[in-house]
Amino acid sequence: MSSFSDETSFVIESFNSCAYSSLSNCPNTESEINAPELVLKQHKIRMAYQLNPSTGRPTPPGLIQYHVQDRTITRQNIDEIKLTCNDYTEGGWVLENHTKNNLLRLTPNTKFGQKYRDKLKLLLVIKYEKDGYTHLKGALRNTETGEIALISSTNNLVQDEEPCTHKKLSPSFDSDYKIYVTKMIAPLLFWDELKNRILY
């Protein structure tokens, strides 16, 4: 069985009442700019974190985060979290190459993916491999809207050997990979590298 279950919850707490899971309708006001940084917080078991504010309008369960704004990521206080994080890669996640195949594996073959397929570019990909399983986590830039989609995918071995009754899987544009229909849960490596790539 896979070592990583996306049903385990980890949260980012927000002290701002604005909805950070979908900021496209959120005004860029002075109060928002001066609001405290979002804080990544480990919740229970895994050394991983989820973009899910405790206030405002968080992304409901069972939905992919398609509309994340740059400022949501860049306002994370990653350096402070590094001081207490004892597993930066959560057991072996590594940075992965940007390739056409990885883009296809991380693009949902859904209405969203079909509409924006030619507009999505890889911003970040990380990978975990063990016992034949391959898991990918990526940030895709929508070059039309400027928003970021946070996507997790896995090879078909997970579906073949594990019924995944507790998970919803959706097809990708690679027939050998499926998309997890869920919010992003990722090691600190992911959030740290994503922030740096946006800023620098």
Domain ranges of the chain: 11-199
Query: With contact defined as beta carbons under 8 Å apart, do 133 and 93 qualify?
Result: no
3-state secondary structure 68-122: ECHHHHHCCCHHHHHCCCCCCCCCCCEECCCCHHHHHHCCECCHHHHHHHHHEEE
Encode pLDDT of 53-107 as tens digits: 543 345 555 578 899 999 889 988 888 888 888 899 998 999 999 999 999 999 9
- Please report the sign of the dihedral spanned by the C-alpha atoms of residue 37, residue 120, residue 200, residue 101: positive
Q: What is the model's pTM?
A: 0.77
CA distances from 19 to 69, 87, 163, 186 (A): 11, 29, 34, 20
CA atoms of 69 and 33, how far apart (whole Å): 13
Average pLDDT over every residue of 20-32: 39
Which pLDDT does position 145 carry in this prediction?
Answer: 96
Burial of 128 per CB tally in 10 Å (0-12, 13-18, 19+) = buried
Which pLDDT does position 57 carry in this prediction?
Answer: 42
Coil, strand or helix: which one is 24? helix
Which pLDDT does position 53 carry in this prediction?
Answer: 52
Listed in sequence order, the residues at least 6 apart from 135 whose beta carbon sits closer than 8 Å to its beta carbon are: 2, 4, 127, 128, 129, 152, 153, 154
Encode pLDDT of 13-25 as tens digits: 332 222 223 333 3
∠ CA 177-97-130, rounded to 5°: 55
- Name which residue leads in pLDDT, 65 or 193: 193
Percent residues over pLDDT 70 in the chain: 66
Q: Which two tokens stand for residue 35?
A: 């609001």
